Structure 1
């Protein structure tokens, strides 16, 4: 039987997995909250396990926040363009849902890169595709990271602990 602390921790970890597929929700922070609830109020999670979960949770947070920007930057997209694209995607999330994030990212990068003096249509399109693909890839990576935290919690804390 699960106690209240384990249920809260498990609920936060499950919420983190769900949040990982919704743009703009801090899934890494939710997962870390679940782990720390267990560590602070539970039956004594080992310190090595807490450290492992913390590293994975922080990695998920960094990938979530900067994955798309890193991919766009790797193709030569400016920091300004990347930030504006992220803001446009966030605004369009509330208008068009998840497809709005993709359209906002792609359209903003394409249009702003097209306005740059040294960019042609083909290069602007390529940068927009790379930034959008990077955002999608970072979403997959975040999902896998927080899902691994949930699986690790289930195995090492609930089952073996």
Structure 2
């Protein structure tokens, strides 16, 4: 026991804390780690947090994961990119992430959106779409950190109540 907490609770809190840190580091899947902490607690037999709170935390975790995966693609679309450029950018960014890390995600997404839109329209339009996709991907980091921290804080408060 650590500070009067059982091993399962300590593991869940550690995963939730790692999820917050991981959300700020593009190479670590922070929202998934946070979600793993909640699910480990829920399915491991944790009893200090209500089922309603756990369900809400799972929902927030899923939203954070989706935000992580779709933000750049949706921002590219909002910036005027076609669905083709947005989806291709998302796929190339995803693959490039595994090939060369976080820089690959940004460069793959923005570069693909730029190239597709430059081919379809013009360089000015392509630049706008690529900038939006980059800002969306970076903005998703902020959203992920806020959601992951909210999950950690809610879980910790639920343990105290």
TM-score class, shorter: 0.7 to 0.9
Asked if structure 1 preserves the Cα contact closer than 8 Å seen for 2:49 and 2:155, the reply is no
Match of 1:139 in 2: 141
Deviations 1:101-159 (A, max 9, x none): 2222221111111011xx111111000000110111112101110111112222222xx
1:59-74 → structure 2 map (5 Å cutoff): 59-74=63-78
Deviations 1:15-73 (A, max 9, x none): 32233234465433322221122233223411221132122112112211211111111
* Structure 1 consecutive aligned stretches of length 4 or more whose deviation exceeds 4 Å: none
CA distance 1:92–1:39, shift in 2 (3 Å)? closer
Asked if structure 2 preserves the Cα contact closer than 8 Å seen for 1:69 and 1:82, the reply is yes
Match of 2:16 in 1: 13
SS at match of 2:24: coil
Asked if structure 2 preserves the Cα contact closer than 8 Å seen for 1:92 and 1:104, the reply is yes
SS at match of 2:158: helix
What are the ranges of 5 or more consecutive residues in structure 2 without an aligned counterpart? none
Give the alignment partner of residue 88 of structure 2, picking from 62, 67, 84.
84
TM-score (norm 2): 0.84
Inter-partner Cα distance in structure 2 for 1:93 and 1:138: 15
TM-score (norm 1): 0.84
Match of 2:115 in 1: 111
Q: Give the number of aligned pairs.
A: 157
Shifted more, 74-83 versus 90-99: the winner is 90-99
What are the ranges of 5 or more consecutive residues in structure 1 without an aligned counterpart? none
RMSD, aligned α-carbons:
2.1
